[in-house]
Amino acid sequence: MGATYASNGKPVDQRIAETELLRFATAGSVDDGKSTLIGRLLHDAKSILADQLAHVKETSERRGDGELNLALLTDGLRAEREQGITIDVAYRSFQTDKRRFIIADCPGHEQYTRNMVTGASTADLSLVLVDARNGLVRQSRRHAAISALLRTPHLVVAINKMDLVDYDQSVYDAIVADFRSWSAGLEFAEATFIPMSALKGDNVVEPSARMPWYDGPTLLHHLETVQIAGDRNLEDWRFPVQWVVRPQNDDRHHDYRGYAGQVAAGVLTPGEEVVVLPSGRTTRLAAIDTMDGPLEQAFPPQSVTLLLEDDLDISRGDLIARADESNPPTVARELEAIVCWMSDAPLRAGGRYALKHTTRAVRAVVEDVDWHLDVETLDRLDNSHGLSLNEIGHVRLRLSAPLAFDPYARNRETGSFILIDEATNDTVGAGLIAAPQD
Protein backbone atom coordinates (compact mmCIF):
# COMPACT_ATOMS: atom_id res chain seq x y z
CA MET A 1 0.00 0.00 0.00
CA GLY A 2 1.35 3.43 -0.90
CA ALA A 3 1.45 6.40 1.43
CA THR A 4 -1.63 8.59 1.65
CA TYR A 5 -1.45 12.35 1.61
CA ALA A 6 -3.37 14.92 3.57
CA SER A 7 -4.66 17.92 1.65
CA ASN A 8 -1.76 19.98 2.97
CA GLY A 9 0.50 17.65 1.02
CA LYS A 10 2.16 15.86 3.94
CA PRO A 11 2.39 12.08 3.71
CA VAL A 12 0.68 10.35 6.63
CA ASP A 13 0.27 6.84 7.88
CA GLN A 14 -2.88 5.11 6.80
CA ARG A 15 -3.87 4.68 10.40
CA ILE A 16 -2.36 6.17 13.52
CA ALA A 17 -1.52 3.41 15.96
CA GLU A 18 -2.94 3.26 19.43
CA THR A 19 -0.12 3.42 21.96
CA GLU A 20 0.44 3.14 25.69
CA LEU A 21 -0.38 6.05 28.02
CA LEU A 22 2.29 7.30 30.46
CA ARG A 23 1.45 9.92 33.08
CA PHE A 24 4.33 11.79 34.66
CA ALA A 25 4.60 14.60 37.17
CA THR A 26 7.17 17.38 37.27
CA ALA A 27 7.88 19.86 40.00
CA GLY A 28 10.56 22.41 40.43
CA SER A 29 11.36 25.81 41.86
CA VAL A 30 10.84 28.92 39.81
CA ASP A 31 14.42 28.99 38.60
CA ASP A 32 15.02 25.28 38.03
CA GLY A 33 14.04 25.68 34.41
CA LYS A 34 11.02 23.40 34.65
CA SER A 35 8.90 25.42 32.23
CA THR A 36 11.81 25.59 29.82
CA LEU A 37 12.28 21.83 30.08
CA ILE A 38 8.62 21.09 29.36
CA GLY A 39 8.65 23.64 26.56
CA ARG A 40 11.77 21.98 25.14
CA LEU A 41 10.23 18.52 25.36
CA LEU A 42 7.05 19.64 23.60
CA HIS A 43 8.98 21.66 21.03
CA ASP A 44 11.58 19.04 20.15
CA ALA A 45 9.00 16.25 20.17
CA LYS A 46 7.19 18.40 17.59
CA SER A 47 4.06 18.78 19.70
CA ILE A 48 3.90 22.54 19.35
CA LEU A 49 1.86 23.69 16.44
CA ALA A 50 2.65 26.69 14.26
CA ASP A 51 0.11 29.11 15.74
CA GLN A 52 1.20 28.35 19.32
CA LEU A 53 4.83 28.85 18.35
CA ALA A 54 4.06 32.12 16.56
CA HIS A 55 2.26 33.35 19.67
CA VAL A 56 5.21 32.48 21.92
CA LYS A 57 7.68 34.12 19.54
CA GLU A 58 5.61 37.28 19.42
CA THR A 59 5.25 37.37 23.23
CA SER A 60 8.98 36.62 23.76
CA GLU A 61 9.93 39.56 21.58
CA ARG A 62 7.40 41.89 23.18
CA ARG A 63 8.69 41.03 26.65
CA GLY A 64 12.31 41.25 25.59
CA ASP A 65 12.98 37.58 26.39
CA GLY A 66 14.97 36.98 23.23
CA GLU A 67 13.88 35.04 20.21
CA LEU A 68 11.95 32.15 21.72
CA ASN A 69 11.24 31.78 25.43
CA LEU A 70 10.13 28.14 25.63
CA ALA A 71 8.87 28.68 29.18
CA LEU A 72 6.00 30.76 27.79
CA LEU A 73 4.50 27.67 26.16
CA THR A 74 3.25 26.48 29.52
CA ASP A 75 1.97 29.77 30.92
CA GLY A 76 -1.67 29.39 31.75
CA LEU A 77 -3.57 31.93 33.75
CA ARG A 78 -3.26 35.66 33.47
CA ALA A 79 -2.06 36.10 37.07
CA GLU A 80 0.73 33.63 36.30
CA ARG A 81 1.82 35.52 33.23
CA GLU A 82 1.78 38.80 35.11
CA GLN A 83 3.72 37.50 38.10
CA GLY A 84 5.93 35.05 36.20
CA ILE A 85 4.96 32.19 38.53
CA THR A 86 2.86 29.04 38.34
CA ILE A 87 -0.18 28.82 40.59
CA ASP A 88 -1.78 25.51 39.93
CA VAL A 89 -1.20 22.02 38.55
CA ALA A 90 -1.51 22.05 34.78
CA TYR A 91 -2.10 18.94 32.72
CA ARG A 92 -0.63 18.80 29.23
CA SER A 93 -0.67 16.10 26.61
CA PHE A 94 1.70 15.18 23.85
CA GLN A 95 2.54 12.12 21.89
CA THR A 96 5.27 10.51 19.88
CA ASP A 97 5.15 7.42 17.69
CA LYS A 98 5.89 5.31 20.75
CA ARG A 99 3.71 6.70 23.53
CA ARG A 100 0.99 9.10 24.53
CA PHE A 101 1.98 11.31 27.50
CA ILE A 102 0.13 13.35 30.10
CA ILE A 103 2.29 15.74 32.13
CA ALA A 104 1.11 16.95 35.53
CA ASP A 105 3.08 20.17 35.79
CA CYS A 106 3.25 21.16 39.48
CA PRO A 107 4.33 24.51 40.86
CA GLY A 108 7.37 24.31 43.08
CA HIS A 109 6.66 26.95 45.69
CA GLU A 110 6.88 25.79 49.23
CA GLN A 111 3.21 26.54 49.96
CA TYR A 112 2.15 24.30 47.12
CA THR A 113 3.23 20.93 48.52
CA ARG A 114 -0.38 19.92 48.09
CA ASN A 115 0.02 20.37 44.34
CA MET A 116 3.00 18.01 44.26
CA VAL A 117 0.97 15.41 46.14
CA THR A 118 -1.90 15.89 43.71
CA GLY A 119 0.35 15.52 40.66
CA ALA A 120 2.17 12.48 42.08
CA SER A 121 -1.07 10.68 43.01
CA THR A 122 -1.83 9.67 39.42
CA ALA A 123 1.69 9.59 38.01
CA ASP A 124 3.58 6.56 36.69
CA LEU A 125 6.79 8.55 36.89
CA SER A 126 8.13 11.60 38.70
CA LEU A 127 10.57 13.96 37.06
CA VAL A 128 12.59 15.79 39.72
CA LEU A 129 14.57 18.80 38.56
CA VAL A 130 17.94 19.73 39.99
CA ASP A 131 19.85 22.86 39.01
CA ALA A 132 23.42 21.65 38.39
CA ARG A 133 24.80 24.88 39.88
CA ASN A 134 22.95 24.49 43.17
CA GLY A 135 22.86 20.73 43.68
CA LEU A 136 20.16 19.06 45.75
CA VAL A 137 18.23 21.91 47.27
CA ARG A 138 15.24 21.72 49.60
CA GLN A 139 12.70 21.75 46.77
CA SER A 140 14.22 18.82 44.85
CA ARG A 141 14.46 16.75 48.01
CA ARG A 142 10.89 17.60 48.87
CA HIS A 143 9.63 16.49 45.47
CA ALA A 144 11.62 13.24 45.52
CA ALA A 145 10.42 12.51 49.07
CA ILE A 146 6.78 13.13 48.15
CA SER A 147 7.13 10.91 45.08
CA ALA A 148 8.50 8.14 47.31
CA LEU A 149 5.71 8.63 49.83
CA LEU A 150 3.05 8.53 47.09
CA ARG A 151 4.74 5.45 45.60
CA THR A 152 5.16 6.87 42.15
CA PRO A 153 6.73 3.78 40.58
CA HIS A 154 9.53 5.49 38.61
CA LEU A 155 11.80 8.44 39.27
CA VAL A 156 13.92 10.52 36.91
CA VAL A 157 16.36 13.01 38.40
CA ALA A 158 16.99 15.60 35.69
CA ILE A 159 20.24 17.42 36.41
CA ASN A 160 19.57 20.54 34.40
CA LYS A 161 21.58 23.61 33.36
CA MET A 162 24.67 21.52 32.63
CA ASP A 163 25.59 24.24 30.13
CA LEU A 164 26.22 26.58 33.07
CA VAL A 165 28.77 24.20 34.66
CA ASP A 166 30.65 23.58 31.40
CA TYR A 167 29.06 20.14 30.98
CA ASP A 168 31.40 18.97 33.75
CA GLN A 169 31.04 15.28 34.63
CA SER A 170 32.35 15.80 38.19
CA VAL A 171 29.43 18.15 38.97
CA TYR A 172 26.98 15.52 37.73
CA ASP A 173 28.73 12.70 39.63
CA ALA A 174 28.69 14.67 42.87
CA ILE A 175 24.94 15.35 42.61
CA VAL A 176 24.20 11.69 41.82
CA ALA A 177 26.26 10.57 44.82
CA ASP A 178 24.58 13.15 47.05
CA PHE A 179 21.12 12.01 45.92
CA ARG A 180 21.95 8.33 46.44
CA SER A 181 23.18 8.84 49.97
CA TRP A 182 20.28 11.14 50.88
CA SER A 183 17.62 8.80 49.43
CA ALA A 184 19.04 5.53 50.80
CA GLY A 185 16.01 5.11 53.05
CA LEU A 186 13.40 5.90 50.38
CA GLU A 187 11.65 3.28 48.33
CA PHE A 188 11.68 3.71 44.57
CA ALA A 189 11.29 1.01 41.96
CA GLU A 190 14.22 2.68 40.21
CA ALA A 191 15.86 6.07 39.80
CA THR A 192 17.39 7.29 36.55
CA PHE A 193 19.78 10.26 36.43
CA ILE A 194 20.07 12.34 33.26
CA PRO A 195 22.43 15.33 32.79
CA MET A 196 20.83 17.88 30.48
CA SER A 197 20.41 21.44 29.36
CA ALA A 198 16.79 22.22 28.59
CA LEU A 199 17.79 25.64 27.30
CA LYS A 200 20.31 24.27 24.80
CA GLY A 201 18.46 21.02 24.10
CA ASP A 202 21.10 18.58 25.41
CA ASN A 203 19.75 15.10 26.26
CA VAL A 204 16.10 16.17 26.31
CA VAL A 205 15.07 14.77 22.94
CA GLU A 206 18.40 14.82 21.11
CA PRO A 207 21.51 13.16 22.60
CA SER A 208 24.16 15.67 23.62
CA ALA A 209 27.44 15.88 21.77
CA ARG A 210 28.79 18.00 24.60
CA MET A 211 28.60 15.26 27.25
CA PRO A 212 30.33 12.27 25.63
CA TRP A 213 30.97 10.88 29.13
CA TYR A 214 27.22 10.18 29.53
CA ASP A 215 26.02 7.02 27.81
CA GLY A 216 22.48 6.78 29.22
CA PRO A 217 19.19 7.59 27.49
CA THR A 218 17.84 11.02 26.64
CA LEU A 219 14.81 12.06 28.69
CA LEU A 220 12.36 11.38 25.87
CA HIS A 221 13.88 8.01 25.07
CA HIS A 222 13.55 7.01 28.71
CA LEU A 223 9.93 8.22 28.87
CA GLU A 224 9.16 6.24 25.74
CA THR A 225 10.70 3.00 26.90
CA VAL A 226 10.40 2.72 30.70
CA GLN A 227 8.36 -0.39 31.51
CA ILE A 228 5.09 0.53 33.22
CA ALA A 229 2.73 -2.33 32.45
CA GLY A 230 3.95 -4.24 35.50
CA ASP A 231 3.38 -1.36 37.92
CA ARG A 232 -0.26 -2.16 38.63
CA ASN A 233 -1.33 -4.72 41.19
CA LEU A 234 -2.55 -7.70 39.14
CA GLU A 235 -2.65 -10.09 42.09
CA ASP A 236 -5.29 -8.93 44.57
CA TRP A 237 -8.73 -8.89 42.95
CA ARG A 238 -10.49 -5.65 43.95
CA PHE A 239 -13.65 -4.16 42.45
CA PRO A 240 -15.35 -1.20 44.19
CA VAL A 241 -19.02 -1.07 43.13
CA GLN A 242 -19.68 2.32 41.63
CA TRP A 243 -23.14 2.14 40.14
CA VAL A 244 -25.87 -0.49 39.87
CA VAL A 245 -27.15 -0.89 36.31
CA ARG A 246 -30.87 -1.79 36.36
CA PRO A 247 -32.72 -1.09 33.11
CA GLN A 248 -36.29 0.10 33.70
CA ASN A 249 -39.17 -0.28 31.25
CA ASP A 250 -37.22 -2.62 29.04
CA ASP A 251 -38.55 -6.15 28.59
CA ARG A 252 -35.36 -7.53 27.07
CA HIS A 253 -33.35 -6.66 30.17
CA HIS A 254 -36.01 -7.16 32.78
CA ASP A 255 -33.81 -9.28 35.02
CA TYR A 256 -30.55 -7.46 34.30
CA ARG A 257 -28.71 -6.35 37.43
CA GLY A 258 -25.12 -5.31 36.80
CA TYR A 259 -22.51 -3.85 39.11
CA ALA A 260 -20.55 -1.19 37.29
CA GLY A 261 -17.12 0.04 38.32
CA GLN A 262 -13.45 0.27 37.52
CA VAL A 263 -11.16 -2.67 38.28
CA ALA A 264 -8.87 -1.46 41.09
CA ALA A 265 -6.56 -4.48 41.12
CA GLY A 266 -6.25 -8.06 39.97
CA VAL A 267 -7.35 -10.01 36.92
CA LEU A 268 -11.05 -10.91 37.03
CA THR A 269 -12.27 -14.10 35.34
CA PRO A 270 -15.88 -15.36 35.18
CA GLY A 271 -16.49 -18.45 37.32
CA GLU A 272 -14.42 -17.26 40.28
CA GLU A 273 -15.94 -17.25 43.75
CA VAL A 274 -16.23 -13.72 45.12
CA VAL A 275 -16.95 -12.09 48.45
CA VAL A 276 -18.86 -8.84 48.85
CA LEU A 277 -17.49 -6.57 51.58
CA PRO A 278 -18.26 -5.40 54.17
CA SER A 279 -21.24 -7.84 54.32
CA GLY A 280 -19.07 -10.93 53.69
CA ARG A 281 -21.63 -12.70 51.49
CA THR A 282 -20.24 -14.88 48.73
CA THR A 283 -21.31 -15.79 45.20
CA ARG A 284 -19.68 -16.37 41.80
CA LEU A 285 -18.74 -13.99 39.02
CA ALA A 286 -21.11 -14.95 36.19
CA ALA A 287 -19.91 -12.58 33.47
CA ILE A 288 -18.02 -9.38 32.74
CA ASP A 289 -20.22 -7.16 30.63
CA THR A 290 -19.51 -4.10 28.50
CA MET A 291 -21.52 -2.28 25.86
CA ASP A 292 -19.30 -3.96 23.27
CA GLY A 293 -20.04 -7.44 24.59
CA PRO A 294 -18.75 -9.73 27.34
CA LEU A 295 -15.05 -9.97 28.26
CA GLU A 296 -13.11 -13.10 29.14
CA GLN A 297 -11.03 -11.18 31.66
CA ALA A 298 -10.87 -7.70 33.12
CA PHE A 299 -7.91 -5.92 34.69
CA PRO A 300 -7.05 -2.43 35.97
CA PRO A 301 -7.95 0.25 34.99
CA GLN A 302 -10.82 -1.09 32.85
CA SER A 303 -14.35 0.16 33.50
CA VAL A 304 -16.74 -2.79 33.24
CA THR A 305 -20.00 -4.19 34.61
CA LEU A 306 -20.02 -7.41 36.66
CA LEU A 307 -22.90 -9.88 36.60
CA LEU A 308 -23.08 -12.21 39.61
CA GLU A 309 -24.72 -15.64 39.91
CA ASP A 310 -26.84 -14.83 42.96
CA ASP A 311 -29.08 -11.87 43.59
CA LEU A 312 -27.40 -10.31 46.63
CA ASP A 313 -28.12 -6.94 48.15
CA ILE A 314 -25.18 -4.99 46.76
CA SER A 315 -24.91 -1.24 46.40
CA ARG A 316 -22.45 1.55 45.66
CA GLY A 317 -19.55 1.53 48.06
CA ASP A 318 -19.37 -2.23 48.45
CA LEU A 319 -16.07 -3.89 47.53
CA ILE A 320 -16.09 -7.15 45.59
CA ALA A 321 -12.98 -9.29 46.10
CA ARG A 322 -11.97 -12.88 45.31
CA ALA A 323 -13.17 -15.23 48.05
CA ASP A 324 -9.96 -17.24 48.46
CA GLU A 325 -7.68 -14.20 48.45
CA SER A 326 -4.31 -14.74 50.08
CA ASN A 327 -4.16 -11.00 50.80
CA PRO A 328 -7.73 -10.21 51.78
CA PRO A 329 -8.77 -6.59 52.32
CA THR A 330 -8.97 -5.36 55.91
CA VAL A 331 -12.50 -4.57 57.05
CA ALA A 332 -12.43 -2.17 59.99
CA ARG A 333 -13.95 0.89 61.63
CA GLU A 334 -10.64 2.48 62.43
CA LEU A 335 -7.50 3.01 60.42
CA GLU A 336 -4.08 4.63 60.53
CA ALA A 337 -2.85 6.71 57.65
CA ILE A 338 -0.33 9.24 56.44
CA VAL A 339 -2.34 12.38 55.75
CA CYS A 340 -1.23 15.35 53.66
CA TRP A 341 -3.12 18.40 54.90
CA MET A 342 -4.36 20.86 52.29
CA SER A 343 -6.39 23.40 54.19
CA ASP A 344 -5.63 26.66 56.01
CA ALA A 345 -7.68 25.44 58.99
CA PRO A 346 -5.47 22.85 60.72
CA LEU A 347 -6.36 19.21 61.32
CA ARG A 348 -6.59 18.51 65.05
CA ALA A 349 -7.51 15.60 67.28
CA GLY A 350 -11.28 15.55 67.64
CA GLY A 351 -11.88 16.99 64.16
CA ARG A 352 -14.69 15.45 62.11
CA TYR A 353 -14.63 15.08 58.34
CA ALA A 354 -16.32 13.22 55.52
CA LEU A 355 -14.00 10.53 54.17
CA LYS A 356 -14.23 9.28 50.59
CA HIS A 357 -12.52 5.95 49.94
CA THR A 358 -13.00 4.23 46.55
CA THR A 359 -16.72 4.73 45.97
CA ARG A 360 -17.71 4.83 49.62
CA ALA A 361 -18.24 7.88 51.81
CA VAL A 362 -18.24 7.66 55.63
CA ARG A 363 -17.61 10.09 58.47
CA ALA A 364 -14.29 10.10 60.28
CA VAL A 365 -13.15 11.45 63.65
CA VAL A 366 -9.47 12.23 64.21
CA GLU A 367 -8.40 10.25 67.28
CA ASP A 368 -4.81 11.39 67.33
CA VAL A 369 -1.94 12.82 65.32
CA ASP A 370 1.08 10.75 66.32
CA TRP A 371 3.86 12.48 64.41
CA HIS A 372 4.51 14.51 61.32
CA LEU A 373 7.23 14.34 58.73
CA ASP A 374 10.11 16.57 57.85
CA VAL A 375 9.21 16.49 54.16
CA GLU A 376 12.85 16.87 53.14
CA THR A 377 14.21 13.95 55.11
CA LEU A 378 11.07 11.94 55.91
CA ASP A 379 12.22 12.01 59.57
CA ARG A 380 9.38 11.63 62.07
CA LEU A 381 8.92 14.67 64.31
CA ASP A 382 6.95 14.82 67.56
CA ASN A 383 3.55 16.32 67.09
CA SER A 384 1.33 18.16 69.52
CA HIS A 385 -0.27 20.76 67.27
CA GLY A 386 -2.05 18.63 64.65
CA LEU A 387 -1.37 19.23 60.96
CA SER A 388 -1.23 22.66 59.37
CA LEU A 389 -1.40 23.47 55.66
CA ASN A 390 1.09 21.41 53.62
CA GLU A 391 2.13 19.25 56.58
CA ILE A 392 2.19 15.48 56.26
CA GLY A 393 1.67 13.33 59.33
CA HIS A 394 0.49 10.05 60.82
CA VAL A 395 -3.14 10.12 61.88
CA ARG A 396 -5.48 7.66 63.57
CA LEU A 397 -9.10 7.81 62.45
CA ARG A 398 -12.31 6.28 63.78
CA LEU A 399 -15.04 5.74 61.19
CA SER A 400 -18.86 5.88 61.28
CA ALA A 401 -19.11 2.60 59.31
CA PRO A 402 -16.70 -0.16 58.32
CA LEU A 403 -14.47 0.23 55.27
CA ALA A 404 -12.79 -2.52 53.26
CA PHE A 405 -9.27 -1.33 52.45
CA ASP A 406 -5.67 -2.28 51.73
CA PRO A 407 -2.38 -0.65 52.71
CA TYR A 408 -1.49 2.08 50.22
CA ALA A 409 1.84 0.38 49.64
CA ARG A 410 -0.02 -2.66 48.34
CA ASN A 411 -2.69 -0.87 46.32
CA ARG A 412 -2.98 2.81 45.47
CA GLU A 413 -6.70 2.59 44.62
CA THR A 414 -7.97 0.80 47.72
CA GLY A 415 -5.35 2.36 49.99
CA SER A 416 -6.10 6.04 49.42
CA PHE A 417 -8.81 8.42 50.60
CA ILE A 418 -9.67 12.10 50.71
CA LEU A 419 -11.04 14.08 53.63
CA ILE A 420 -13.77 16.64 52.96
CA ASP A 421 -14.78 19.49 55.27
CA GLU A 422 -18.54 19.13 55.48
CA ALA A 423 -19.06 22.80 56.25
CA THR A 424 -17.26 24.12 53.17
CA ASN A 425 -17.34 20.98 50.98
CA ASP A 426 -13.63 21.54 50.27
CA THR A 427 -11.20 18.66 49.86
CA VAL A 428 -8.89 19.26 52.83
CA GLY A 429 -6.74 16.14 53.16
CA ALA A 430 -5.24 13.25 51.21
CA GLY A 431 -4.75 9.97 53.04
CA LEU A 432 -2.48 6.96 52.45
CA ILE A 433 -3.55 4.00 54.53
CA ALA A 434 -0.74 2.48 56.59
CA ALA A 435 -0.05 -1.23 56.83
CA PRO A 436 -1.08 -2.77 60.18
CA GLN A 437 1.61 -2.18 62.86
CA ASP A 438 3.46 0.14 60.50
Partner 1 sequence: MSYELSHLDALEAEAIHIMREVAAELERPVLLFSGGKDSIVLLRLAEKAFRPARFPFPVMHVDTGHNFPEVIEFRDRLVSEIGERLIVASVQESIDKGRAVEETGPRASRNRLQTVTLLDAIEEHGFDAAFGGARRDEERARAKERIFSFRDDFGQWDPKAQRPELWQLYNGRVRKGEHVRVFPISNWTELDVWQYIERERLQLPPIYFAHEREVFARDGMLYAASEFVELLDGEEVFTETVRYRTVGDMTCTGAVASTAATLETVVAEIAATDITERGQTRADDRVTEAAMEDRKREGYF
Q: Interaction with partner 1 in 130-189: which residues (CB under 8 A)?
A: none
Does 1 help bind partner 1 (rule: CB under 8 A)? Answer: no
How many other C-beta atoms are found inside a 10 Å radius of the C-beta of residue 1?
A: 4
411-430: contacts with partner 1 (CB under 8 A): 412-413, 416-418, 420, 425-427, 430
Cβ proximity to partner 1, 155 vs 264, nearer residue: 264
Question: What gap in Å lies between CA 24 and CA 223, rounded to an integer?
Answer: 9
Q: Count the residues in the chain.
A: 438
Residue from 245, 295, 312, 331 touching partner 1 (CB under 8 A): that is 245
Question: What gap in Å lies between CA 355 and CA 114, rounded to an integer?
Answer: 18
**Vertex 333 angle, CA 329 and 339, to 5°:** 85
Helices vs. strands in the chain: H and E counts, helices first: 7, 22
Does 254 help bind partner 1 (rule: CB under 8 A)? Answer: no
Closest residue by Cα to residue 397 from 342, 349, 341 = 349
Does 56 help bind partner 1 (rule: CB under 8 A)? Answer: no
Question: What gap in Å lies between CA 27 and CA 7, rounded to an integer?
Answer: 40
Residue from 210, 316, 352, 398 touching partner 1 (CB under 8 A): that is 316
Residue 432 CB-density burial (10 A; 0-12 exposed, 13-18 middle, 19+ buried): buried
How many other C-beta atoms are found inside a 10 Å radius of the C-beta of residue 94?
A: 17
12-51: contacts with partner 1 (CB under 8 A): 12-16, 18-21, 49-51
For residue 300, the minimal CB distance to partner 1 (Å) is: 8
Residue from 1, 6, 184, 209 touching partner 1 (CB under 8 A): that is 6
Stretch that binds partner 1, among 28-36, 128-136, 273-281, 284-292 (CB under 8 A): 284-292
Does 295 help bind partner 1 (rule: CB under 8 A)? Answer: no
Q: Count CA atoms within 13 Å of residue 90 on its CB side.
A: 17
Question: What gap in Å lies between CA 341 and CA 380, rounded to an integer?
Answer: 16
Cβ proximity to partner 1, 197 vs 358, nearer residue: 358
Cβ proximity to partner 1, 302 vs 377, nearer residue: 302
For residue 184, the minimal CB distance to partner 1 (Å) is: 28
DSSP state letters, 209-223: SS-TT--S--HHHHH
For residue 212, the minimal CB distance to partner 1 (Å) is: 34
Stretch that binds partner 1, among 163-171, 187-195, 353-361, 386-394 (CB under 8 A): 353-361
Does 87 help bind partner 1 (rule: CB under 8 A)? Answer: yes
Q: How many residues bind partner 1 (CB under 8 A)?
A: 84
Question: What gap in Å lies between CA 288 and CA 296, rounded to an integer?
Answer: 7
Does 255 help bind partner 1 (rule: CB under 8 A)? Answer: no
Does 221 help bind partner 1 (rule: CB under 8 A)? Answer: no
Cβ atoms of 7 and 87 within 8 Å: the answer is no
Does 8 help bind partner 1 (rule: CB under 8 A)? Answer: yes
